[in-house]
Structure 1
Amino acid sequence: MALALIWPLLVLLLHDDIGSWPLLVIGAALLAWRMPQARYLAAAAAVLLVALGGLGHAELGMRGYPIAVNAIMLAIFLSSLWRGMPIIERLARLREPELPAAGIRYTRHVTWAWCGFFVLNGGIACWTALYASLATWTLYNGAISYGLIAIMFAGEWLLRHRMRSRLS
């Protein structure tokens, strides 16, 4: 997991020494290994990234790792809205097994909000992969996006506690 978190920084530090292809292969393997909850999707994304390299775009395939992660997370969250219990509801029920109807509605909205986040974050990751320097790609995908995730978590936590205090 730690390797996945620092992947953009490792790419920046190692790219000049070992090149795009080895990093692409390592990144694809890391992607397929890191996401067991979406094994087939992660494997398909890893194959797509390597195929991109095979078509002469190894650096783009290497930079595609964060795009793939966002796309996989989007697929997991979206599919949970249609099949079974939404991801956020499952997490909420770990703390509160008898979730009230208002809580169920709220968790559904939060799951949709995360879907929007993955679309936006993945879109920016895509832009940095296509048009930005490797340093800018690393800055966004290795720092700024994590800050945005933290803001999303903190904002949801504050909103949830505010709503709960109103209901009490």
Structure 2
Amino acid sequence: MYLAMGRFEPRWLSLLLFAVAVLRALGTRERLWIWSAVGTGVLAMVALLGNEALPLKLYPALVNAVLLVFFLVSLRHPPTVVERLARLQDPQLPPFAIVYTRRVTQVWCGFFVLNGSLALATALWASDATWALYNGLLAYLLMGLLHAGEWTVRRRVKAAHGHV
């Protein structure tokens, strides 16, 4: 995106973002993802009409907001997102694992709040280079660190409960 922003007008990049929104809307039946596609479409249309890069730069903040809502809703209406993912590997999760997956879902919610806030701040107040560095690299490194840390903790929790 950073390289493209310097070479193409935002209106042309917005067409790509709009295409992603349409494909997302067509490829799902879940309301949350449909609303996400609508939000993406709105950002793309604003960028297209105003030929401004800011709406395109707001996309990572939108993604974090949607993921936050998705994870929060799963906390209110279990099973949580993380429990659903865990059940793909082990359909018969023991009770301690369900408690653990709930806690991991809460941690990811915190991550989405922090990451989304930083994505928003870099879009609104940072240079294009800073925005691209954070949203194109650092955010992914932080996600990887969180995942690696969770994997390490999960192994210890399983071992403490006699599951290897």
TM-score with structure 2 length normalisation? Answer: 0.86
Equivalent residue in structure 2 for 1:158, among 148, 152, 164: 152
- Who is 1:23 aligned against? 13
- Who is 2:44 aligned against? 50
Q: The residue matched to 1:58 in structure 2 has which SS? A: coil
Cα distance, 1:29 vs structure 2: 2.7
Q: Structure 2 CA distance, aligned partners of 1:32 and 1:149?
A: 27
Q: Structure 2 CA distance, aligned partners of 1:46 and 1:146?
A: 20
Task: Give unmatched runs, 5+ long, in structure 2.
Answer: none
* Structure 2 residue identity aligned to 1:118: F
* Structure 1 residue identity aligned to 2:83: E
Q: Structure 1 CA distance, aligned partners of 2:40 and 2:5?
A: 19
RMSD (CA atoms) = 2.0
Matched, 1:114 2:104: no
* Structure 1 residue identity aligned to 2:53: E
Q: Structure 2 CA distance, aligned partners of 1:19 and 1:140?
A: 22
Q: The residue matched to 1:145 in structure 2 has which SS? A: helix
Q: How many residues align?
A: 158
Rate the CA distance shift 1:121–1:31 in 2: closer, same or farther, 3 A. Answer: farther
The answer to which of 138-147 and 72-81 deviates more is 72-81
Matched, 1:75 2:69: yes
1:15-42 deviation per Cα after TM superposition (whole angstroms, max 9, x unaligned) = 2222112112322332453584643122
* Native 8 Å contact 1:67 1:126 kept in 2: yes
- Who is 2:3 aligned against? 13
Equivalent residue in structure 1 for 2:126, among 99, 108, 132: 132
Q: Structure 2 CA distance, aligned partners of 1:31 and 1:136?
A: 25
Task: Give unmatched runs, 5+ long, in structure 1.
Answer: 1-10
